[in-house]
Structure 1
Amino acid sequence: MAYRLTVIGTGYLGATHAACMADLGFDVLGLDVDETRIARLAAGHLPFYEPGLEPVLRRGLDSGRLRFTSSYAEAAEFGDVHFLCVGTPQKAGEYAADMSYVHAAARSLAPLLNRPCLIVGKSTVPVGAAEGLADMFARTAPAGGDAVLAWNPEFLREGFAVQDTLRPDRIVAGLPAEQGAAEHAEKVLREVYRTMIADDIPFVTTDYATAELVKVAANAFLATKISFINAMAEVCEAAHADVTKLAEALSHDGRIGGRFLGPGLGFGGGCLPKDIRAFMARAGELGADQALTFLREVDEINIRRRIRTVDLARELLGGSFSGRTVGVLGAAFKPDSDDVRDSPALDVAASIRAQGAKVTVYDPKAMRNARRAQPNLEYGESALSAARDAHVVLLLTEWQEFRDMDPSALAKTVAERNIVDGRHALDPDRWRAAGWNYRALGRP
């Protein structure tokens, strides 16, 4: 059967999933309550930056396999499989996830489901949420028990979203407890993902709760690994050791590996920080808070890296930012993204400005979002303009153009040759040979 798919929510996850599913040959209808976003997507323009995704979007539109709407009624009539891809941000003033968008989408869709269908949750939710949603669909959808829910967590990395959608490391399917419903959900999902399964991508079936835990557990592990090497950077500074060499030596141990073992400014973005905090909050609600107390230190280590980066820059200026000019290279939380949510780079820039410096920021893709998030900072049109007359330059997002910078060319525009490499992206010997005072976290 050629299933028709809807994607509820067309933010980063939803727009990517809709475009990629259309590229696989499905007829896809994307839905969002944001009319401006729908109009942009329908015109072939992404509301965010993601390498390689816009051509996929336009192929889907040109082929007629991909459309967008703001009508839940149209989506319910169109779809055989409905993917829930709405956001679950951190609640204001709390660690817990805000489930209001998921619940609103589910409540809007359910009363319109008058024929058998599969609803597939992809949003990152607290464990236990799927069971409640499945009950709500069974009670309020006209199709009753024929409106079946499965949970299929996403594992997208910003900058690699197309690859991670079309060739994921694994596909996880959380299935209902009732055997007939579970068999039907698995059959449908295997058909939707048939090309990936044919390429030997593992297809893991489990219950709702385990599927919900897979995403947050994976993010908790990755955040822990990042904070571990950054904790070692703190020790290396105290011991006058080199954390980059330590990380290199550790990476050769097959039990440890080198991925996510890069020391530096730490993690940010819309997933890792809020997901580990929501994980802690949910564990507390379940009475298992002691199991995740280590994540609080993981979070605190990550925040300390930002503070220490500011300290390094201040040390290079003799102990004060007052009246000084600072150039910041990078605003996005990582390269190949325009996402500035919980961005370490912007956090550091704002902290330095608050201590009396004039701060100018440049990022290849995140300038619009950065200006919205931190309107009090100044912004340059290039790395050279951001560094003009600077007493210290900080590299805080490791874009390739920053890695490739000529230290001699940059030296001609600054007031003093001081640089803090917050991402270990530069060759210290090359920069020191060009007369720069080079500092980096965890390095002598």
Structure 2
Amino acid sequence: MRMTVIGTGYVGVVHAACMADIGHEVLGVDIDEERVAALTAGHAPIYEAGLNALLARTVKSGRLRFSTSTTEAARFARLHFVCVGTPQVPGGEAADTRHVDAVVDGMAPHLQPGSLIVGKSTVPVGTTARLAARLRAVAPHSEIAWNPEFLREGFAVADTRRPERIVVGVESRRAEATLREIYEPMLISGVPFFSTDPATAELVKVASNAFLATKISFINAMAEVCDAAGADVVTLAEAVGQDSRIGHRFLQPGLGFGGSCFPKDIRAFAARAEELGVGDSIAFLHQVDEINTRQRRRTVDMARNLVGGSFTDRRIAVLGAAFKPESDDVRDSPALDVAASIRRVGAEVRVHDPEAVDNARRKFPGLQYTLDVPKACEDADLVLHLTAWPEYREISPAELGPVVRSRKILDARDTLDAASWQSAGWTLSALGRPRISGAYAA
């Protein structure tokens, strides 16, 4: 089928490349001319496993190309995916849907009869109905549906090719049939397909993110209790996760969630519930958000205690800048937030990350950056492990020991092998765990 993908950010570029890869003819559209030029040359704007090769292959095949013209997009196809951002409104918590609105309003006068606009952006419940009314006034023979994305950064290509489920919110059998045809290769392989009303489809995405965020904040709240009681939150999480009703996924204690989805989505969900008069039903999400933010403050406070109560004239090594491993995304990164907070109160901070250094430098130019772990840790009074990249689990504590000034590490992701660090003479601290000291710790 012919289709367009409007917006070539994280969701859009992955969706466009994957749709072209399964055989569709795709036109990606973005107002950023430099981005379009880079995409046309086969270069992805983000780091995502397998994406560059996929993009280069589909562009070369001729099934994927890019443009800056929504008018061209309307002429190119009758099927249009909207993948633009929905950040928080300035100074508030609600979702800012102005970019989604602009796409629909801009394309409506140019749409071919029988066109279908399919939203993939995360939006407040009721958005599809609101936009459908506006679309009917200008293009009465076209319609709008919602098909939320459920991509995990670092696994987006795999999640698009083999999603855990496909959810579509439609108002006609024609729209459902079109979406079934688009995703036929996935459906043949057994991917569950849920066809429902647009409001339910919109809610599935925000409800999923709210539940996962709640699970993360729950175990981090338990970490606070463990700190107060002298218990071990890692063992607690392992034991609790054995319950099949609960499970282990998203039950890892640590620095908390960040990125472009969870924080803004739970705030926007709570704001929309208030507008609908049911704010009390999900008021707990405010506490979920506060627990998550508090983990960053707790990490800074623990780091301060580990260097003697003050960061003045202290050198801190930070391992990790991206908000999660296998990504170069630093939007609302807990790691960068902690690093910047420590620098603001007097420390010299050196940051390492396998992929996110360039993005981090643009956001916080006052921090020092390096692509070499030993260089980041040179003469450090404390090492902070803030993003759980697999590379950091491969570090040799014995080899790193002579590089630092003091063999102290704060594992804010609770993923390092504590025994190996202890045996190499390090003092390892973590949120919700008793401190483990080695024989040669400074």
Range class of TM-score, shorter chain = over 0.9
Count, aligned residues:
434
- Residue 5 of structure 1 corresponds to 3
| Equivalent of 2:188 in 198, 203, 208 | 198
- Residue 179 of structure 1 corresponds to none
- Residue 68 of structure 2 corresponds to 70
Instruction: Give deviations 1:393-424, integer Å, cap 9, x for gaps.
Output: 00000111111100011112111111000111
- Residue 30 of structure 1 corresponds to 28
| Equivalent of 1:230 in 215, 220, 225 | 220
1:110, CA displacement in angstroms?
A: 0.8
| Equivalent of 1:423 in 406, 413, 416 | 413
Gaps of at least 5 residues in structure 1 are: 177-181
Give the secondary structure class of the aligned counterpart of 1:93.
Answer: coil
| Equivalent of 2:178 in 177, 188, 197 | 188
Establish whether residue 412 from structure 1 lines up as the match of residue 410 from structure 2.
no
- Residue 164 of structure 2 corresponds to 169
Give the secondary structure class of the aligned counterpart of 2:221.
Answer: helix
- Taking the aligned partners of 1:385 and 1:147, their CA distance within structure 2 comes to 58
Instruction: Give deviations 1:296-345, integer Å, cap 9, x for gaps.
Output: 01001001111111111111111111110000010000000000011000
Within a 5 Å distance, the mapping from 1:241-256 to structure 2 comes to 241-256=231-246
Instruction: Give deviations 1:98-155, integer Å, cap 9, x for gaps.
Output: 11111111111111003211110100000111101111111112xx2x2111110000
Instruction: Give deviations 1:356-391, integer Å, cap 9, x for gaps.
Output: 101111111001110111111111231111111110
Instruction: Give deviations 1:177-227, integer Å, cap 9, x for gaps.
Output: xxxxx1100110010011111111111011111110000000000000000
Instruction: Give deviations 1:72-114, integer Å, cap 9, x for gaps.
Output: 1111011121001000011222111111111111111111003
Instruction: Give deviations 1:26-63, integer Å, cap 9, x for gaps.
Output: 00000001111101111000111000111111111111
- Residue 422 of structure 2 corresponds to 432
Paired-residue identity, %: 60
Establish whether residue 311 from structure 1 lines up as the match of residue 306 from structure 2.
no
| Equivalent of 1:349 in 339, 352, 365 | 339
Give the secondary structure class of the aligned counterpart of 1:88.
Answer: coil
Give the secondary structure class of the aligned counterpart of 1:379.
Answer: strand
- Taking the aligned partners of 1:71 and 1:426, their CA distance within structure 2 comes to 49
- Residue 81 of structure 2 corresponds to 83
- Taking the aligned partners of 1:234 and 1:61, their CA distance within structure 2 comes to 50
Establish whether residue 155 from structure 1 lines up as the match of residue 153 from structure 2.
no
Within a 5 Å distance, the mapping from 1:16-27 to structure 2 comes to 16-27=14-25
Within a 5 Å distance, the mapping from 1:371-382 to structure 2 comes to 371-382=361-372
Contact 2:78 2:111 in 1 (8 A): no
User: What is the letter of the counterpart of residue 250 of structure 1?
Assistant: V
**Mean Cα deviation higher: 52-61 or 25-34:** 52-61
- Taking the aligned partners of 1:380 and 1:188, their CA distance within structure 2 comes to 49
Give the secondary structure class of the aligned counterpart of 2:403.
Answer: coil
User: What is the letter of the counterpart of residue 403 of structure 1?
Assistant: R
Give the secondary structure class of the aligned counterpart of 1:340.
Answer: coil
- Residue 140 of structure 1 corresponds to 138
User: What is the letter of the counterpart of residue 419 of structure 2?
Assistant: D
- Taking the aligned partners of 1:359 and 1:54, their CA distance within structure 2 comes to 32
Gaps of at least 5 residues in structure 2 are: 435-442
Contact 2:78 2:112 in 1 (8 A): no
Give the secondary structure class of the aligned counterpart of 2:283.
Answer: helix
- Taking the aligned partners of 1:402 and 1:202, their CA distance within structure 2 comes to 36
**Runs of 4 or more off by more than 4 Å in structure 1?**
none
- Taking the aligned partners of 1:201 and 1:80, their CA distance within structure 2 comes to 25
- Taking the aligned partners of 1:41 and 1:441, their CA distance within structure 2 comes to 42
Give the secondary structure class of the aligned counterpart of 1:412.
Answer: helix
- Residue 268 of structure 1 corresponds to 258
- Residue 439 of structure 2 corresponds to none
User: What is the letter of the counterpart of residue 52 of structure 1?
Assistant: G
Within a 5 Å distance, the mapping from 1:358-369 to structure 2 comes to 358-369=348-359
User: What is the letter of the counterpart of residue 260 of structure 2?
Assistant: G
User: What is the letter of the counterpart of residue 249 of structure 1?
Assistant: A
